[in-house]
Structure 1
Amino acid sequence: MPYPELAERLAAVRAAIDGAIARGGHQQRVAVVAVTKTHGPDAVRAAWAAGLHDVGENRVQEALQKMAEVDVPLRWHLIGHLQRNKVKQLDGFALVHSMDSARLADALHEEGVRRQRPIDVLLQVNVSGETSKGGYGPDDVRAEAERLTTLPGVVVRGVMTMAPFDAEERVLRATFAGAREARTALLEAGHPAAELSMGMSGDYEVGVEEGATMVRLGTLLFGARG
């Protein structure tokens, strides 16, 4: 059986999340998005068998190949950068975490209108300002939140951010707090922005303490790709 340690690892993660919720005091529900990028369809099936209903992929094409091979009713999340020329391939995704620019927002809106079904998205915010990461700057969020109210082809469900790799706790908390502020701006503009996608294998407990409603876990669940 592939990934024999997954159930045990997931139980430890869920216990850690419960502890982080208690420490953080936000009383939120937290979904675990199992990141199956670079792993084959067996990882997706194992996730489902372990009770995980959300899987995340970085690349549209890799996800589509797995969707064709896996017949369980998972919710597929696109968590990696999305090129505008790929928006027509999003039908199988429940949520796009990486709406990182106004140009991409416009392309997603146009596709949502064309298919007569809005695309659920998260606004990617680059709180840390790292040039290696995409996303809106924190100072741009409020104006973009207002503009997005005029784009019925997308439904903005919340915010996604990534903290700097191996950052100290102070930086993690500042990054995640910035994402919370961005979500507040979206809510105040009238978006149904309940979600905060923040925290990965190395920092998810701090993310949950700071209010994350989704954590994106790959290595912690499946191990390194062999």
Structure 2
Amino acid sequence: MNSIVERLKEVRCQIENACQQCNRSPDSVQLLAVSKTKPATAIRQLYQAGQRAFGENYLQEALTKQQELSDLEAICWHFIGPIQSNKTRDIAAHFDWVQSIDRAKIARRLNEQRTAELQPLQVLIQVNIDDESSKSGVGPEQVADLAKYISDLPQLTLRGLMTIPAAASSAEAQAESFASMQRLYSALASQYPTVDTLSMGMSNDLASAIAAGSTMVRVGTSLFGAREKT
């Protein structure tokens, strides 16, 4: 079995190869290591190998790991799970990015609870691109209004969009979901100069996502192995 550091090298090679296939610079795609349910020791190993951005879904688990890893000064924490109103204070205080904003109420609370001595929280709007009832996110038609609302909040910086497409029945269906997100992202980026991030693609579809314009892929399984049940 490959070590976690070897798997990191393999994922970076996958990203580089995918970028070469569509004539993009590998530097145009950031790797977010999705570390939910994985121990702090594994995160530390990846950090020591050069990985800096880590994504967490579960707040209490994340806060425990952040405390264990408080000596890692350059680490960047992304919250990528659904957000309940009673969790916004801790998310605002302890994360650098939030990728899963899907309503104005959550954006407002994060803005109010992000203290002035901290840099603005970098945020993405989560889009439910395939209208799945089991997933969070706004519909494509709601992106513009939520973006406008966020752009007026001083302690948030709108950086772009995130999506988790439906499990595709075909390559064509997957490509259409990704293309729809790229169109939404391009429209948003043309309106807001801070928008530079399209978080799209995971372990099993990162090449297709990169071909469609993703600037950040969220990889868990290929780095850490199968996710443990919680």
TM-score by length of 2: 0.88
Structure 2 unaligned segments of length 5 or more: list them. none
Paired with 1:49 and 1:39, the residues of 2 have a C-alpha distance of 16
- Once the two structures are superposed, the pairs formed by residues 1-226 of structure 1 within 5 Å of their partners are 5-27=3-25, 29-70=28-69, 71-73=71-73, 74-90=75-91, 91-112=93-114, 117-165=119-167, 167-225=169-227
Q: 2:168, 2:174 within 8 Å by CA — same for their partners in 1?
A: no
Percent identity for Structure 1 against Structure 2: 38
Paired with 1:185 and 1:107, the residues of 2 have a C-alpha distance of 26
Q: 2:8, 2:223 within 8 Å by CA — same for their partners in 1?
A: yes
Tell which deviates more after alignment, 163-172 or 15-24.
Answer: 163-172
Paired with 1:5 and 1:54, the residues of 2 have a C-alpha distance of 19
What SS does the corresponding residue of 1:159 show, helix, strand or coil? strand
Gap change, CA 1:115 and 1:85, over 3 Å in 2? farther
Alpha-carbon RMSD = 2.1
Q: Runs of 4 or more off by more than 6 Å in structure 1?
A: 113-116
Paired with 1:219 and 1:210, the residues of 2 have a C-alpha distance of 22
Paired residues, number: 224
The offset of 1:221, in angstroms, is 0.8
Q: 2:97, 2:121 within 8 Å by CA — same for their partners in 1?
A: yes
- In structure 2, give the amino acid aligned to 1:188: S
TM-score by length of 1: 0.90
Tell which deviates more after alignment, 148-157 or 63-72.
Answer: 148-157
The offset of 1:117, in angstroms, is 4.3
Paired with 2:2 and 2:114, the residues of 1 have a C-alpha distance of 40
Q: 1:146, 1:189 within 8 Å by CA — same for their partners in 2?
A: no
Tell which deviates more after alignment, 175-184 or 128-137.
Answer: 175-184
Paired with 2:118 and 2:53, the residues of 1 have a C-alpha distance of 24
Paired with 2:169 and 2:33, the residues of 1 have a C-alpha distance of 22
